[in-house]
Amino acid sequence: MLRTKLNQPEILGALGTMGHGSRILIADGCYPFVTGSPPTARRVYLNLSPGIVRVTDVLQAIAATVPLEEAFVMVPPDGAEQPVFAEFRRLLPSGIELQKLQRFAFYDKSREPDTALVVATGDERNWANLLLTMGYIKH
């Protein structure tokens, strides 16, 4: 029996092997899951159908389970704030700022070897991609 709200076994298994500085990519339904992440990353496909499961659903479960210290988002060429970013901010721990990256810079960051978990969602919202850095437990 788990006390966490997160009970997806593949995600829990991946989180259990990760540590401080490891990255988690939660990507929308249009993200290039295979080519936009390192080949060593564990992939979990939750993209059941369009709109199900959403990036924010996964974020809420992960944020309640592991410490987070950084968050990167993908922005359009004009760098405009996206509506989904307000929901990301609400769900992330306080003090974490969204670091904005242009599309190809986001892909490059997501392909780095520290990205250990990629969660594919069916989110249809534009620019709903989030790259998280795992923090550490403060004693």
Q: What is the mean pLDDT of residues 55-81?
A: 97
Domain assignments of the chain as residue spans, ordered by start: 9-33+41-122
Query: Has residue 114 got a pLDDT over 80?
Result: yes
Among residues 94, 95, 84, the alpha carbon closest in space to that of 27 is found at 84
| Torsional class of 59: left (φ above 0), alpha (ψ -120 to 50), beta (otherwise) | alpha
Using alpha carbons only, how large is the chain's radius of gyration in Å?
14
Choose the CATH number for 9-33+41-122 among 3.30.70.100, 3.40.1650.10, 3.65.10.10, 1.20.1740.10: 3.40.1650.10
Give the residue with greater pLDDT, 2 vs 27.
27
Distance CA 109, CA 101 (A): 9
pLDDT digit string, tens, across residues 33-67: 999 999 999 999 999 999 999 999 999 999 999 99
Query: Has residue 139 got a pLDDT over 90?
Result: no
Token pair in block for residue 52: 């199900």
Length of the chain: 139
**51 three-state secondary structure:** coil
Express as a percent the part of the chain with pLDDT over 90: 94
Give the model's confidence band at 71: pLDDT under 50 very low, under 70 low, under 90 confident, else very high.
Answer: very high
Give the model's confidence band at 28: pLDDT under 50 very low, under 70 low, under 90 confident, else very high.
Answer: very high
Q: What is the mean pLDDT of residues 95-120?
A: 98
**Average pLDDT, rounded, for the chain:** 96
First to last CA, the chain: 25
pLDDT of residue 1: 61
What does DSSP say about strands 115-120 and 42-45: parallel, antiparallel, or unpaired?
parallel
Give the residue with greater pLDDT, 4 vs 34.
34
